[in-house]
Each structure stands twice: as structure tokens, then as C-alpha cells.
Structure 1
Amino acid sequence: MPFTKRLIVALVLATATAAFAAPTGTAQQAAGSAQCANRETPPPPVDTSEQPAPGVKAPPALEVPEKPIGGDRLGECGLILPPNQAQPPSGITAASWLLADMDSGAVIAAYDPHGRQRPASVIKVLLAMVVAKELRGDTVVTASAEDTQQECTCVGLKDGGQYTVRQLLQGLLLTSGNDVAHTLARQLGGVPNALRKMNAMAKELGALDTRAQTPSGLDAPGTSTSAYDVALIFRGAMKYDEFAQAVKLPQAQFPGRNGGTIMLTNDNRLLANYDGALGGKTGFTDDAQHTYVGAAERNGRRLVVVLLRGQQTPTHITNQAAKLLDYGFAMGPGGVGKLVDGAPQPKPNVVSTQSNDTSSDAAADPGDTGRPTPTAFGTVGLPITAIAGIGLLAAIFLYIRNKRAKAARARRQAAQAAQGI
């Protein structure tokens, strides 16, 4: 084969091999994002509740992690089951749901677990977790006029009324009081500070799809969460006794506006209707639709279930949760991912011992996030570059061999001419 053709063949082979190499992580993520409608943001709002105030820009969408938190399969946006597992029960209306083992953290089944939705009042679990961490249950708090003027549902706080943090926590979790949420946020340093603490807690847990914009879960620009994150948050909150005790109360006495006490009744139907129920939280807004998180225990096994953007018909959202819990308890060992025990940590900086040059490639970038560094070739650029290099070396080898062959032929021809052949 002539050298030119050989060179072309070698280069074509190298290029084709590189082109058909495994796609980069970034390309896979982009493909997944294109297929998953809510990978970056919740669905569009149905009303004006998320319009920014005049002169205020809506916050940008939260960054999508390069690798799905909890495992690669959890980046899928359809039904995710272990191999050879029976199909989930019919009648589940949630756009996103998840079942996980509370203790091991194993995610045993899910549907679009990292799809971004709105939490509605299930975000109160995150607020309650911060309260349980930072405030003593017997601390006395005085309600303000602003607390009593929140968009309800409300417990019915009285301006100037005094309540313990424990009572407020019960009002927050049993009857989803938005007036109580505002009062507790003030006790945490004011609403902006409370939101900062809530979002810092979410990030610490690894709930990177979550951004609380109101302490109560009322819709606001930039609000976001996912079924995976809600499970992480509920699992974390259950480690605090104040939360775990409050969320499982069927009823609790609460100071009345006109003296005496009133009885708060838990709006989580599973407490009365599901054997082994450990507590949970419901939610609803026009934009979020119906949301739920709850847990139950059976034969020493504790499961958490989350449903986001569900409907109440033909089956109530808590009854859908009960069906998924039954399904989960019937499943054998195995899983499709894991509830992480904290946010992914950045790689530690590695300082070269060979040189003091701070620009050396041996020193880690201070902005390193622990993720593969994108290059012109993506996260698998090194193998592709190596393949292309091999093709180039092959072409050079053929070129050198061709020149040597020509030189040898020339020497033979000269020798024959000298001998008169």
C-alpha cells in the first residue's frame, strides 16, 4: 500500500477510535438533563406566587451536581428498581417519589428521585431540624403581630402570647402552622438568618437540590427540593429527640388565644391508620401540589417514604404513602443507591514536594470541588488523547519504514548499476 494511503488509514483509525470512545461525564449529564424535564428547576408555577418583587431578580437555578448524589442510578428520571423486582403498586400519582431504609440509608426504589420539585410544608421538617439543633425546648418565645399575620394555615398565635419552643415545634409539625414557622424563624435570628441556617443544614446533609425561600414552605422564587433531599432531611431530623417525639404525637395541648388550652390534632393520617407509623409531614400549595414525607417501622426495619407533586385522587396522598411502604417492606435486600451521610467533600489540596512553584500542576486548585476537571476532551480526555497519540505514532512509524525501504531500494539499484547488471 502506498505510504500516503497508509498514513490516511492510520489517522482515520485513530480518529474513529477516539470518536467512539466512552462519552464524557459532562456529556452524559447533558444528555440526562435534556431527557429529565425537572433536572434543574421545578415545573413552571401555576400562579403569580413566584414572581420576584419589583426590582428584584429571581435567584438562578441551583447547580446540578456532576454526579448524582447517592449513586449513578439516582440520576435517572423514570422508575428505578433493583433487578428482578416487582413493579410498584398502582395509583401512585406523585411526579417524584422515593423509598429508603432509614438506618442503612439504602434507597430501595424511586421515581425521578433528583427531579426538582417544590416542598410546600414538608420544608418545615428542615426548619424543625434547625430549631431542635439550636434552641432549647423550654425556651419561652413571645409572639409578635407580624407572626399572627402570616398567610395561613395557622395555629392561632396571639400577639404578645408566650409559648415554649417545644409547644411551637408541636404546632409546626402537627398542624403546619405558618404563624409558628415565622415565630421560630424570628427566634433563630430573623427570617433571612433562619433561611441561611436551613439552607446551610441542607447543604451539610448533601441535599443539594434544596433551597428554602420561606420558613413555612409557601411558594417563592427559587424554591426547590427533591424526593431524595426530603428523605435525607427527614432522616437527619429524626436523630433529634425533640423532633422525633413531636412528629409522632397524635395530639398535643396548646395555649389558646383567649386563655386555657386548645387541642392540636396531627394532620398525618398514617399515625392512626398505619401500623408502625413513626410520624411524617404533609404539605400543599398550588404550585407544589400535594407533598408528603413519613416513616414507619416493621420487624425492626425502618423505612422512609417521600412523595412530591402528588394528587389526592383517586387515592389520598397518605394512602399512596402507605401502599409504597407496604411495597418497600415486602422487598428483599438490595438497592439502587444510598442516602449519603453528608455532602461530598472536596479533595484535599496536594502540595508538590518537588518544587516551590505554586503554579505547578502538582498543586491542587484551591477551587477544586472534588469533581473531575473538565478539559477540551472532557473527563475522559486522557484516554482519548492517548489513543490519538498512538495513531500518530503509528503514522510516524509507517513514514520512517517507508523512507528506509526507499533508501534500501536505491542502494540495491546503485550496486547493480556498478556491477553492470
Structure 2
Amino acid sequence: MPMTFSASTASTAPTALPPSAAASGGTGRTARRGFPLRTAAALAVSGLVASPLLAGTAYADPKVPAPPAKMSKIGGDRMGTAGVQVAPKPGAPGLPGPDTLTARSWIVSDAETGKVLAAKNPHWRLAPASTLKMLFADTVLPKFPKDEKHTVKPADLAGMGVGSSLVGIKENLSYTVHDLWLGVFLRSGNDAVHTLSAMNGGTKTTVAQMQQRAKELNATDTHVVTPDGYDAPGQVSSAYDLSLFARAGLQNADFREYCSTASAQFPGDKGKNGKRASFGIQNTNRLLSGDFDIKPYPGIAGVKNGSTTNAGSTFTGVAQRGDRKLLVTVMHPEKREHNEGYREAAKLLDWGFAAADKVEPVGRLVGPRSEDDGTGAVGPKDKKKGADNSTQAALNTSDGTGGAWTAVGIAGGALALVGAVAFLVHRRRPLPDGTRGRRPRR
């Protein structure tokens, strides 16, 4: 059954770049030097040779760390190979050049089928910043009803890192679970994360559960130290794993609501009359809410952004154009420009929508460990049922909704309801219809 989507999805198709700029796995500075690298890039995009390109040369800049020589191959052999991986068919648009895509690691994939359209060092284990909150939500969100109230104790807010992002939670005041999750997703509030962790048995318990959830999702690059993504020794994830967390989370209706909410009211202090005031909060995901130098991305539907000293900028987003839904994750752009992570993510989404039918997949996002061994081989359940992985993936929903999603959009900075649609997706992992700027339910 074909899908329709009523939100504005005006096409912003990318300009095809010359092959020499399309598939370099290195930095812009290195890629501009020397004829051999440009020639190799051209051959890679033409399909005559495989990326990555001249791995030793492409990371010659001593200021930029090289990816590990060995990385995980979950999702396919090319997912563990350093450099840019892309397999264009004739007529495929070129990837944006290395001066545009400066991130150390990125991946763009089909959110439903899991096919990876292109990637660069997707299993490179890097600091995740607040994108790790997707795993936190994946783990904790199903445990508490959204109307449950919690009175915050001083101990709930203990252990937050210096300079943590906050939504403004106050001790000895009550908040609903719904309020707390808005604080997590919109303001990336570590105070909201620690409050929910306290409700869940404490930080130590929550971290252990997050690590177990990552294991269940085949996210083997991830090591959790803090539940909020704050920089900590040994805390790492990867662009591949962050995409798995987003894809799993999007199966949950509440996750979809929170990650796609552009703005909301948050409870404040009590006034002299004893009544609670409220204040407005806006989503810090700039492809969703926009900024003075960047517009909301057409068809954006979440998911989560982050920024710390160790991680630089990180971002995972999902967007829809027509009946196509794409996931993109970008980690640590080398450019130190305002909103750079979002700009690079938007370029990858533009390319992905233009190239989706014109490239061969170079890997796939795997399902949970209970259904998928991560290698591309038929999993145990599939062997018993005689089904293939794509059929099994179609069963892989965490909330059993079957994929109904309300599509909403943003117009002139105000939240505007555009439409609702349900659809069926056969032989693929179902995702709900695209969402932008959802008005929160109170």
C-alpha cells in the first residue's frame, strides 16, 4: 500500500559534484592535495574501485586522528572498512566533497529497510555527547506512564557534570514523566535525565540497563558510563550504533512524540498564590526548530543532537520525502563553524534522497540480537521459520503499533497540524509516517 505524506517536503536536491570531490575519506585539506588522490576519488565514484581512498594518505593531516585499522563489521564488511563507502550506479549524484563533509564519521541509511546508502567510518568509536540520550530513552521510557508524578529530591540531581545542559528542574517540586521527557529531548536536560534515572533505581542501575539494551540491539561499539552522554573516560558509541538507537526508539509512539516536538511549556516555580508558572522551551535540534543561520529541514522528524568538548558536534536525524524515510548520523565535524553538524547532516540527507535508487547498499542496520546475528547471515529464529531477514525485520517493532504516525509541520514558526496517515510496509521494518514539530499532549 503506497504511503502519502502531507507535510511540506519541498525538494532541495543537491548539485552533483565532480567525481574528484565525491568520495574522499579524508579531510578537505588533504583531499585537495595531489593528483593521485583526486584520481582515486574519481575512480571510486565511477565504481571502478572501492572506497575507502588511499587510507594512509587520506588521513595524513596530523591534527586529525586516523580511524582504527580494525573496526566492527556488524552490518557488513564495508561497515568495518576505513574511509568513505559508497557504491554508485550510473547516473548517481556524487557525494558532497570533503570540504563539505568534514565529520570523522557519518552514515546515511534507509530508516525502514535498514539499507546503508553510504557511510564513512561508521563503526569508529567516538564520544557520543547527548545523542546517547536516545539509548537512555530506549531503555527507560517504557517503564513509567507519562502521567506519573515525581517530587524531585536533592539526591536526584547529584552527580551531574559541570556545565551540564539543563531544562530547569527544581528540588522539592513535582513533575510528570511527560514533563521530564520533554526536558530530555527538547533541552537535552541532564537534570531531567538524572531525575528519571533516580526514579529508575539510580544512575548505576540505569547505566547497567543501558549497556544491556545496547547489547540487545547489536550496538557493540557502545560503552556507557553516564546516562546523559556527558564526557567521561571510556564513554563511546558510533554513528552506526546511534542509528540503531534511533531506529529502535522510533518504534515507540512516545519516543516519536518527544523527539519531534519543536516547542513546549515546562513547569516553573510556584508563585505567591501557590500556583505553578510555566515557561517556554524550544528543541535544540536546529534541523527541527531552526536557528538564525539555518532553516528547519523539510520533512524532519527528530531525533537527537549533542555537543561536548570531547565529542564536538553529534547529530542523528530522521526525515521523510515522499514515501522515503532516511536516517543520518554525523559525528565530530572538523569545521568549527556554527551549526556545522546540522549543515553536514542536511547535505547527507539531500544526497540520500537524490541517490537512494541510484546506489547499491554498502551495508545494513541490523536488528536486535534476538533476531539478527549482525553478520548478514540468517538468524536462529529465521532458520526455524524459514524466513529471510527482511521478513523478520518487518516483525521488529518494540510497541506493536504497526506504524501509525501523525504527520505535522511547522509554518511561520508556529506549530500547525497538517494531516495524519497510516500505512503498511511489507518485508521491511515498519516506521511510522513522518513528523515535524509535534504539538505536545498535556
1:247-275 deviation digits (Å, cap 9, x = unpaired): 11111111113431111101111114111
Equivalence for 1:99: 108
2:269 aligned to which of 242, 252, 257: 257
In the TM superposition, what whole-angstrom CA distance separates every residue of 1:83-142 from its partner, at most 9, and x where no partner exists? 344432131221000001110000101000011111000001111111222222112122
Instruction: Select which of 294, 311, 322 maps to 1:299.
Output: 322
Please name the residue that 2:31 is paired with.
none
CA contact (8 A) 1:290 1:312 kept: no
CA distance in 2, matches of 1:81, 1:34: 19
Residue 248 (structure 1) aligns with: 260
Q: Can you list the C-alpha shifts for 1:133-176, whole angstroms capped at 9, x where unaligned?
A: 22221121221213445332111111111111111111001000
Q: Which residue of 1 aligns with 2:221?
A: 209
SS in 2 for 1:211: coil
Tell me the distance in 1 between the aligned counterparts of 2:211 and 2:317: 21
- State the alpha-carbon separation in 1 of the partners of residues 329 and 306 from structure 2: 11
Q: Is 2:274 the partner of 1:269? A: no
- Which residue in 2 is equivalent to 1:329? 353
Higher helix residue share? 1
CA 1:139–1:226: 2 relative to 1, 3 Å: same
Residue 172 (1) aligns with residue 189 (2): no
Counterparts of 1:20-35 in structure 2, within 5 Å, are none
The structure-2 alpha-carbon separation of the partners of 1:36 and 1:70, relative to structure 1 and needing over 3 Å to count, comes to: farther
One-letter amino acid matched to 2:349: L
1:82 is paired with a residue of what secondary structure?
A: strand
Superposed, 1:49-60 pairs within 5 Å as none
Cα-Cα RMSD: 2.7
Of 83, 95, 99 in structure 2, the residue corresponding to residue 88 of structure 1 is 95
SS at match of 1:81: strand
Give the secondary-structure state (helix, strand or coil) at the position aligned to 2:87: coil
| Structure number with bigger Rg | 1
Q: How does 1:178-217 map to 2 (within 5 A)?
A: 178-217=190-229
* Structure 2 residue 301 is the aligned partner of structure 1 residue 289: no
Q: Which secondary structure state, in structure 2, belongs to the residue aligned with residue 280 of structure 1?
A: strand
- Contact 1:132/1:240 (8 A) holds in 2: no
Moved more, 246-255 or 303-312: 303-312
2:148 matches 1:121: no
Q: State whether residues 144 and 160 of structure 1, in contact with CA within 8 Å, keep that contact through their aligned partners in structure 2.
A: yes
- Cα deviation, 1:276-317, whole Å, max 9, x if unaligned, reads 100121111111111111110011111011001124427621
Q: 2:79 aligns with which of 44, 51, 74?
A: 74
Q: How many angstroms apart in 1 are the aligned matches of 2:224 and 2:93? A: 36
Structure 2 match to 1:341:
367
Residue 147 of structure 1 contacts residue 157 of structure 1 at CA under 8 Å; is this kept in 2?
no
Q: Is the 8 A contact 2:287 2:300 kept in 1?
A: yes
> For the residues of structure 1 that align with 2:113 and 2:318, how far apart are their CA atoms?
14
Counterpart of 1:109?
A: 118
Tell me, in whole angstroms, the C-alpha distance in 2 between the residues paired with 1:125 and 1:240: 12
Q: Is the 8 A contact 1:147 1:180 kept in 2?
A: no
Q: Unmatched 5+ residue regions in structure 1?
A: 1-32, 45-60, 349-421
Q: Is the 8 A contact 1:231 1:306 kept in 2?
A: yes
Verify the 8 A CA contact 2:93 2:351 in the aligned structure 1: no
Looking at structure 1, the residues matched to 74 and 373 of structure 2 have their Cα atoms a distance apart, in angstroms, of 12
TM-score (norm: length of structure 2): 0.62
| Aligned ranges 1:400-411 → 2 under 5 Å | none
How far the C-alpha of 1:74 sits from its partner, in A, is 0.7
- Give yes or no for contact 2:93–2:354 (8 Å, CA) kept in 1: no
Distance 1:141 1:221 in 2: 31
- Using the TM superposition, give the Cα deviation of residue 237 of structure 1 relative to its aligned residue in structure 2, in angstroms: 0.5
Aligned mates of 1:314, 1:270 — CA distance in 2? 13
Q: Specify which of 154, 168, 186 is matched with residue 145 of structure 1.
A: 154
Offset from partner CA, 1:163-209 (integer Å, 9 cap, x none): 11111111001000011111111111110110111111111111100
